[in-house]
Amino acid sequence: MSRLDARKRASLPKRAFAYVDSRGRRRLPINDEAHVRNALARFNQVDFENDAARERARKRLLNAAKKYGIVPIGFITGQLHSARAQATHDVRADEFFAVFKHAVDAVEAAAAIQRALGERTRRDELEVRVRIGIHSGRPTLTDFGYIGLPVHTVARVCAVAHGGQIVISGETTEAVGASMPAGLRFRSLGRHRLSGLPDAEALFQVEADGLLATFPPPRTGGRSRRIHDSSRA
């Protein structure tokens, strides 16, 4: 994203900003796709004058996001918070890293997000698909966020998913165990070697009513072998 210097910023019209306060100070530029993504990431850091000003800015930002086909950050975080996410870390534009105390909460949140996006598509006639990957492990929490192999693993799991798909690791299926929510199923996608990881990882797709079900093979670009299908109703 090219930085707006003072001269460029001053040349933009007021409509190029999501928020202009009562003193005329202009915040959250939305003049192009990159700045819309940045504004989405920074929205909750802005000190608005009142709730009405915040709501006006939110609507302007959502309209700008729709123009560029961007999934609004507030929408995703709202779904995560409603699903009892312990914390959300490393938010970058439209990418999220969320931590849950219980694996079942992560799976339910993922399903809720995909269902809500499906409803949004039918209502707005604008199809937006996101990839979701889930892994269970014990990362290390530092002053700079979570680190460790589980963090790398979940990033790789998410990377092999397709838009609209929820892919989880074998560790997550074990962590969910008998707590499987009614109506959700795990379908085996086989074992796949993921970039940077020493061993092949068992991958599963989350299936349920209201979710897309048919996708190409995981985007590993490498060889894989099938494992026993442990789908559960």
Residue of 108, 58, 47 lying closest to 79 (CA atoms): 108
Which of 34, 50, 67 is at the close of a domain? 67
For residue 231, is it within any domain?
no
CB atoms within 10 A of CB 227: 15
SS3 category, 15: helix
What is the domain extent for residue 124?
73-225
**Dist. CA 212–CA 129, nearest whole Å:** 10
Tokens 């959250």 belong to residue: 28
- Bridge partners of 19, per DSSP, are 27
For residue 136, is it within any domain?
yes
Residue type, 141: L
For residue 7, is it within any domain?
no
For residue 8, is it within any domain?
no
Same domain, 25 and 96: no
Same domain, 100 and 192: yes
Task: Answer left, alpha or beta for residue 83, where phi above 0 means left and psi between -120 and 50 means alpha.
Answer: alpha
Same domain, 154 and 84: yes
Same domain, 114 and 181: yes
Which of 37, 67, 97 is at the close of a domain? 67
What is the pLDDT, as a whole number, of residue 223? 47
For residue 5, is it within any domain?
no
For residue 232, is it within any domain?
no
- The beta-strand segments (E) located in 45-179 are 87-92, 95-99, 132-134, 140-142, 145-147, 166-169
Same domain, 102 and 151: yes
Same domain, 144 and 219: yes
Task: Please say whether the beta carbons of 228 and 210 come within 8 A.
Answer: no
What is the pLDDT, as a whole number, of residue 81? 58
Cα pseudo-dihedral 174, 178, 183, 184, rounded to 10: -10
Give Cα 130 to chain centroid, integer Å: 7
How many structural domains comprise the chain? 2
**Dist. CA 108–CA 64, nearest whole Å:** 29
Tokens of 198: 């020493």
* Low-confidence spans in the chain with pLDDT less than 50: 223-233
**Domain holding 80: CATH number?**
3.30.70.1230
What is the pLDDT, as a whole number, of residue 160? 93
SS3 category, 156: helix
